[in-house]
Amino acid sequence: MKVNRRTVLAGMGAAALAHGPLRAFALTSTQIGGYEFVSVSDGNLLLPRSFFFEGLPQEELAQVLAPFDLPQDQLAPPCNLTLLRNDDRVILFDAGAGPAFMPSAGSLSESLDAAGVAPEAVTDVVFTHGHPDHLWGVLDDFDDLVFPNARYHMGQVEWDYWRDPATVDTIGAARAAFAVGAARRLAAIPDRVAHFSDGDEVLPGIMAQASFGHTPGHMSFLLGSGSDAMMIGGDAIGNHHLAFARPGWASGSDQDPERGAETRQRLLDRLADEQIWLMGFHLPQGGLGRVERRGEGYRFVGAAR
Ligand SMILES: [Zn+2]
């Protein structure tokens, strides 16, 4: 796969670009597995460093992070959705954050516009998991469906978890709002959703791969073959620094840190061995790149450098 480095900007002039991060863009590439692949931005998150790095060995952490030049106060991980399209389908992986989660996120509609995709044209929305930055964008300000003609797809385990009324009590205080928000959004689509399990072909040529840990039923997806195979990884590999350099370390963003670390190591090992493209929701440069082994860990090599 050759990546076309052209960045399509949505309604943004050079003056706007000079101020602040790039909120809306679509990064195009060539075909993969019978689909055109496009990375569409939903803006970025803003999170305190402690969310990622609390409880880790600080001296080694400082050494590992030194080359990445991260801001000292808050981190601003990008949010990149995968769009696949062919003559039959327009498939979005996740729905973005929508208007109610964070002011810095929720710019998906501008990016889709840049990619020439009307919300009505989206035929399928496939969820990696039910966290706010991935799910809450199914509803707009008026609680109407943003993608009115889409069929939705969510792993059975993930669906059951967020639909369980007990989850708001078991998820922990810090994420109780996630549970309430997810239940409300999923209640809007039960008659439009299909469920799948590990190994299922969710849509033509798109295989589900369980990657539990970040959430109880987190799913990744594989498509294409050989050197053009791609994994849509969601948040199983959630950042370009620590997740690659020390994949075995617990991550504050994983609901089950131990299982999340096991999953991350397993996926990275395979991605590096088989040189499968990785599309990561919170990875830089549009999220697409290769995984290289480095020292006792790995590194992310963005395709759009
Ligand atoms: Zn996320």
Phi/psi region, residue 20 (left: phi>0; alpha: psi -120 to 50; beta: rest), is left
CATH number for 24: 3.60.15.10
Q: How far from each other are the two terminal CA atoms of the chain, in whole angstroms?
A: 15
**What pLDDT, on a 0 to 100 scale, did the predictor assign at position 18?**
34
Q: How far is the CA of 8 from the centre of ligand 1 (A)?
A: 23
Averaged pLDDT score across all residues of the chain: 90
User: Mean pLDDT across the stretch 73-78?
Assistant: 93
Cα gap 27→4, rounded to integer Å: 8
Residue labelled with tokens 């040529």: 205
Cα gap 111→24, rounded to integer Å: 5
pLDDT digits (tens, 9 = 90+) for 188-226: 999 999 999 999 999 999 999 999 999 999 999 999 998
Q: How far is the CA of 211 from the centre of ligand 1 (A)?
A: 14
Q: How far is the CA of 243 from the centre of ligand 1 (A)?
A: 14
Q: What's the token pair of residue 265? A: 């190591």
- pLDDT-derived band at 30, boundaries 50, 70, 90: low
- pLDDT-derived band at 297, boundaries 50, 70, 90: very high
Phi, psi values for residue 30, rounded to 5°: -85, -170
Q: How far is the CA of 161 from the centre of ligand 1 (A)?
A: 17
**What pLDDT, on a 0 to 100 scale, did the predictor assign at position 285?**
86
CA 107 to chain centre: 15
* pLDDT at residue 17 tops 70: no
* pLDDT at residue 11 tops 50: no
Residue 149 lies in domain:
3-302
Q: Give the list of residues 6+ apart from residue 269 with CB closer than 8 angstroms, or none.
A: none
**What pLDDT, on a 0 to 100 scale, did the predictor assign at position 171?**
97
Cα gap 55→91, rounded to integer Å: 39
Phi, psi values for residue 273, rounded to 5°: -60, -45
The strand order across the sheet containing 193-196 reads 3-9, 25-32, 35-44, 78-85, 90-93, 124-126, 151-155, 193-196
- pLDDT-derived band at 50, boundaries 50, 70, 90: confident
Q: Residue 83 in contact with residue 115, Cβ under 8 Å? A: yes
pLDDT digits (tens, 9 = 90+) for 86-123: 999 999 999 999 999 999 999 999 999 988 999 999 99
Number of structural domains the chain divides into: 1
Q: Give the list of residues 6+ apart from residue 145 with CB closer than 8 angstroms, or none.
A: 138, 139, 188, 189
Q: How far is the CA of 234 from the centre of ligand 1 (A)?
A: 7
Q: How far is the CA of 265 from the centre of ligand 1 (A)?
A: 18
Q: How far is the CA of 133 from the centre of ligand 1 (A)?
A: 5
Residue 221 β-bridge partners: 208, 232
Range of weakest confidence among 68-72, 255-259, 277-281: 68-72
